[in-house]
Amino acid sequence: MTSWVLHVDLDQFLAAVELLRRPELRGRPIVVGGDGDPGKRGVVSTASYEARAHGVRSGLPLRTAARRCPEAVFLPVDRPVYEAASAKVMAALRAYGAIVEVVGWDEAYVAVDADDPEAVAAELRRRVRDATGLDSSVGIGRNRLQAKLATGFGKPGGVFRLTGGNWYDVLGDRPTDALQGIGSKTARRLAALGIDTVRQLAAADPQELAGELGPATGPWLVRLARGEDDTPVSGAPYVARSVSREVTYQRDLDDWDEVRREVVRLARQVSGEVGQRPVVRVVVKVRYVPFTTRTRGHTLDEPATERLEQAAVAALGRFTTRRPVRLLGIRAEFER
């Protein structure tokens, strides 16, 4: 039998959980975000496929979502309900008997040895459906990278296999930011070097890219474009790599003394959730009016469970623009 990695991803997870509670809304555009009031400031956490057809997506301001899809039903985020649903999903996957690595509320990697991975994928989808009523998509690959990317081609509610055999047929002519881990900024840097597609990036000289993008980043990008990934699937309990909190203000914060006080308040909240885990870096997120977001970080001299508040203030000090603020966030990152 061959070793495979399957990436199981719940379809429109938050919206789907809400539809289980409100089946009368099925078929209507659903938007989950904030306290469910599109007249207030907040962002979309997830949107049903019907809402996405109108251009509503995660991270979009609720007010913009309401303009794009005025007939949408807006619902508040209900974290405990989603966590309970996620726990049932992961229990159903573990019951199959394979190694399961949870990577979020709505997704997990499953390592299996099988002659027919599509049959395994169908079985996992059935188990999740029977246990929770939720639909999922499954990506199949020989490694985590391939499986993760394959899922996008299987959505919604399908199965797709992506391996070295069809890697370039599927991805070769796509832009470099089609790859997980490459954002718009890196894609622009690659384009400036004459690298526009996945195929071109895969053919690039790793050492030349190391000179342009860094000794670790350059070769890693080439491996990424070739579909190479040796990260194992781990069955160890999921441990968050960071703790974060953010708040959207219903009025603009014009006074940066008030911004500082709010950063301190958020830092204290995060500190209370960190517990005894050593923090190595603190990141402050600022969203200016109307909707420009910037982040700044402060790395601690040595890992510590204290000094989080001071680190947050230090990170805030790296912001040189003092425009009105509509959102603040704090993220404490742990040792890996």
Active-site residue set? 107
| Amino acid code (one letter) for 201 | L
Distance CA 103, CA 180 (A): 15
Half-sphere exposure of 292 (CA within 13 A, CB side): 6
Please say whether the beta carbons of 300 and 281 come within 8 A: yes
Distance CA 19, CA 30 (A): 9
